[in-house]
Amino acid sequence: MRSKSFFYLSSLLSIFLCISCHQKSDEELLRLERTKLKEKLESQSVLFYKLFKIVLRTQTAENAKQIPGSEHLQKINSRIIQAIDTTKSDTTYISLEDMVLAYKEYNDLKDFALTTDEDMYPTLLETFFKMHTGETPALSHTNISYAELFGWDNNMEHTFLSTTNTSARRTELALYEGSRVDTEHEKDMERRCLYKMQKGLLFITEDFPYLSEHELTSNHEWLEKDGQSYQYSFFRNLIPTGTNKDTYHYAHGINLICRGLSRIKMDREDKKKLALQDFEAFLSDANAIGLNDELVWLVATYVALEREDNQTALANLKKLEKSTIFSNEDKAILHSGIEYLEAKEDNKASNLITDKVFMGKIAIQYFITQMKKVDWKKYTGARPEVATLMRYNEQIQQQLEKVKTTATLDNLKKEGGGLLDKAKKVIQ
């Protein structure tokens, strides 16, 4: 009898240990996401994009040699810039032969792109400044750098490009640019706060919840400890009032809502409880500054459903349904939630509206709408190189897609024998 009891106890202990071994810690899951991110940033699309940028950034770098074997990549870059510069031609023509040769150069240089830090070269904005003015950004008589002169450095440029690529749904490139932002060594604490928030939101969008939580928790700790002494001038664009206390509450609250979104994506009960605490704290911040918009209604709906306060949930769902920033598909889901609550089918309403995918989708749409309200000229200046950067970022995506889709043997077959024979020699 005693041996049987020992056997059962040993079996139960073995099962418990086995289950425990399969429950990974937050640190382990964070490491796994870092590995997954690294793999994603080594895709063909990202490396091709990065290589184009490096080739361009070396063109005005002092004492920097042009990258050997990148002649056709340079040619495409030059033609893109020529086309978007309003003082020159307004058309971009890139021959099929140049596309094939550029693709060959990419294949030869992708290891270089993989291992090279693009930030060792001048920013794109600094490069365009040189192209527009013919001057070196560091003025010889003052030795003031472009970053010092205009407040634009690598972190600012990567954040700007990540945000614009996110708005345009170019997710891989947004993720690459966002991952390049070095928040830990950023000396301007307000910028550091904004960059961490932007990275946290980006990681939520791309399904890296543990990376997101890591960035946003670090940011939350700083906001709680030292954040109240800053002005958060960026957030003055987005809230009805503009005192330092108000902008602090807004920054603190937005950071909380982003962290809450990352936590509900983890599909864990312990994290779901922490997310609910974050959402409730966000509503407290929103109430302190009189914020009453779609994000507040969404979070209030979630909290009310979790707390089984159906009347509050119903009132906020009706406000959300009337909003103009959501798609017809999203409004149909919101309407279904209203019908379920009115029919006393509480569980169906809760499962529908508190779904992690739906919550994230609605919140991201809200943030994209908010970013479009920002007057970026206040932060980038009305300088010609800024307009060039924005148009270059748009054009480079189009040309990259053309090169990748056109410079293949299947597509070249459609163009006829002569070019196909030439293409085979350079890409095989």
- Looking at residue 139, its pLDDT comes to 46
What CA–CA distances, in Å, run from 266 to 204, 221, 277, 359?
Answer: 10, 21, 15, 13
Residue 297 to residue 316: CA distance in whole angstroms: 5
SS3 of residue 278 by DSSP: helix
Residue pair 93/102 in contact (Cβ under 8 Å)? The answer is no
pLDDT (tens digit per residue) in 20-42: 445 689 999 999 999 999 999 99
* In the chain, domain spans: 45-60+68-292+374-427
- Looking at residue 20, its pLDDT comes to 45
pLDDT (tens digit per residue) in 366-394: 887 877 777 666 666 667 777 788 788 87
Residue 22 to residue 25: CA distance in whole angstroms: 9
Range in 167-176, 211-220, 315-324, 398-407 the model is least confident about: 398-407
Between 178 and 3, whose confidence is greater?
178
In whole numbers, what is the pLDDT of the chain averaged over residues?
82
- Looking at residue 379, its pLDDT comes to 63
> In the structure, what pLDDT confidence band is assigned to residue 19 with cuts at 50, 70 and 90?
very low
- Looking at residue 92, its pLDDT comes to 58
Pick from 23, 1, 21: nearest CA to 13: 21
**CA 82 distance to own-chain centroid:** 29
Share of the chain above pLDDT 70, in %: 79
Query: Can you tell me the mean pLDDT for 278-289?
Result: 96
User: Who contacts 124 (Cβ-Cβ below 8 Å, separation ≥6)?
Assistant: 53, 56, 57, 157, 389, 392
pTM for the whole structure: 0.83
Pick from 228, 253, 226, 229: nearest CA to 239: 253
pLDDT (tens digit per residue) in 195-246: 999 999 999 989 999 999 999 999 999 999 998 888 887 787 777 667 888 9
> In the structure, what pLDDT confidence band is assigned to residue 129 with cuts at 50, 70 and 90?
confident
- Looking at residue 36, its pLDDT comes to 96
Query: Can you tell me the mean pLDDT for 263-271?
Result: 94
C-alpha gyration radius of the chain? 26
> In the structure, what pLDDT confidence band is assigned to residue 17 with cuts at 50, 70 and 90?
very low
> In the structure, what pLDDT confidence band is assigned to residue 404 with cuts at 50, 70 and 90?
low
- Looking at residue 158, its pLDDT comes to 95
What CA–CA distances, in Å, run from 15 to 3, 5, 22?
Answer: 18, 15, 11
pLDDT at residue 262 is higher than 80: yes
Pick from 192, 214, 218: nearest CA to 262: 214
- Looking at residue 64, its pLDDT comes to 59
- Looking at residue 351, its pLDDT comes to 92
Query: Can you tell me the mean pLDDT for 143-165?
Result: 83
Q: How many CB atoms lie within 10 A of CB 28?
A: 11
pLDDT (tens digit per residue) in 50-88: 988 988 888 777 665 667 777 778 777 777 776 666 444
